[in-house]
Amino acid sequence: MNYRIFPPEELLDVEIKLPLSKSISNRALIVNALAAGSKPLADVAVCDDTSVLQKALASDSDEINIGAAGTAMRFLTAYLAVAEGRETVLDGSERMRCRPIAPLVDALRSLGAEIEYLGQTGFPPLRIKGKKLNGGSVSIDSGVSSQYISALMMIAPTMTGGLSINLTGEAISLPYIHLTVSIMEQFGAKATFEGNVITIGAGQYSAPDNFSVEADWSAASYWYEIQALTCGWTALDGLVENSAQGDCKIAEMFRQLGVESSFESNPVRAHLEATPELTPRFEADLTDNPDVAQTIAVTCAMLGVPFRLSGLRSLRIKETDRIAALGAELLKVGILLATEQLEGDEIISWDGVRRPLTEIPSFDTYDDHRMAMALAPVAVFIPGIIVRNAEVVSKSYPEFWNHLRAGGFTIEEADGEGTIAALILLAALTVTGVLLYLFDRRSDVGNNGYEPDSSAAPKEDACCGMHITCEKDSLLSSVSSEIEYYDDEELDTYAGKAPEDYSPGEIEEFREILLTLLPHDIAGWARSLHLRGISLPAQVRDELILIVSEARAGLNTKTDA
């Protein structure tokens, strides 16, 4: 199933009920299955990964195929190794047969587990004979996947002498290990994590009376991306501010990309609001947060913000080689990623230089849910993009496309993607050219491509491309003369001004322009202001929302009639 995507025509103003965390759900399912007299957990994530694990735990078959669910493969390998009296063949998709499992198998074997490779050594499928393990001490490389470590941790209480896990190498995704400790403790286990040693005592899990799963921060990252690329307001239900999920760090990261977060506890909810505050260059070590690499890279690329992301060595062994896939797909929007390896680390970067866009991109997703969701918001700047095999989002966020529709995106099936109508193509190129021209102007940087040259005199032609007076400079002048521009260049003097700092006369300037616009033009104008670094006065913002809301209500009334 391929989808063609168009951006919202109005200002973004949406409330989303995020999916529950699959990281918490999958750990809780394993621990609950090991607990004495436990009942099925009432409320866990609804997605392919969690469903696969639930079915496997409920099955008494001697053959289990977990498809592309990497978490299930690792957790079940450990779980089945301590399932006394049971022999099981554990297999997966063709891609799963290429994802390494040897570090976990080696650690389990050193503790007495009976596991046999049925194909290539070091990779699934596996034949596992469950038995009681004595425990003791084991060492494992912590620089490949934290899920190997979490898998060992969760079965440790079943071992006669408990388990001490010595982490070697430079650890990645440490927050996920702390998350595992937290969930185990909620089910009665005793675990400590000090230095590079995790110590877990022998004992019996007991299911808590009121265990609950919070909303998924990884899923929230795509709404942070959408908020950064548009303007308006987004509410995310169920998102906990001080979460044990490692990806909660995106709130801090996206502050550099123009998104402010505020949280409330009753009900639990996050509010996102776009600001004009953009860093001139984004750098981050994603060792603890590799799953948001695609989201951040695409966001920076579309905003015209040069970036350098390190700590990505685990991306090569995910659902796909995410570094290679990201490089191939961003090239379709004129972004050439640089990759480097440094002391065992994988790094990607972009110098801010954009290549010409010659066609509407059709993005491949590589059977990777995160590729699909990270690339979909590109439609904000390139209306009519196509995301191939869009159904892959069911792995972690089955309602993603429906939620995009709720946010105002138009999503159409694109079976005939090779014959896009010329009118749609021209319209998309028109909007694309204006916005990409804007970002190139906004991210005007020095000769090294990274640092802004604050001492340089303003360029006579350094214009955003979205005013009537900029038409002569637009990249689109040779493409179409039917382009809408906003006659508001006088507002450029307010770039960087806070919403509450406007004088009554300045507020009136915004109001006069607002009143000249049709309701369906308002979102584009607000986006233009945002991308030029101009904040709306608070009073005008309220009026803008009212106009859009009334127009939307009128449209709904006509539809109902």
Catalytic residues: 291
With H, G, I as helix, E, B as strand and everything else as coil, classify residue 313: helix
Question: Which stretches within 217-337 are classed as H helix?
Answer: 217-229, 250-255, 293-303, 322-330
Helices 504-514 and 519-531 meet at what angle, rounded to 10?
Answer: 130
The phi, psi pair for 259, rounded to 5°, reads: -125, 120
Distance CA 478, CA 426 (A): 12
Distance CA 465, CA 467 (A): 6
CB within 8 A of 301, min separation 6: which ones? 307, 330, 333, 335, 350
The phi, psi pair for 372, rounded to 5°, reads: -60, -45
The amino acid that residue 247 corresponds to is: D
Q: What are the residues facing 200 on neighbouring strands?
A: 163, 191
CB 462 within 8 A of CB 438: no
Helix (H) or strand (E) holding 90: strand 87-91
With H, G, I as helix, E, B as strand and everything else as coil, classify residue 192: strand
The amino acid that residue 14 corresponds to is: V
With H, G, I as helix, E, B as strand and everything else as coil, classify residue 549: helix
| Cα angle 541, 546, 547; round to 5 | 100
Q: Quick one: 18 exposed, middle or buried, by C-beta within 10 A (0-12, 13-18, 19+)?
A: buried
DSSP letter string over 468-534?
GGGGGG-TTTTT-S-----S-GGGGGGTT--GGG--HHHHHHHHHHHTTS-HHHHHHHHHHHHHTT-
Residue listed under structure tokens 């906990």: 240
CB 551 within 8 A of CB 523: no
Distance CA 211, CA 50 (A): 17
CB within 8 A of 322, min separation 6: which ones? 293, 294, 312, 315, 316, 368, 370, 371
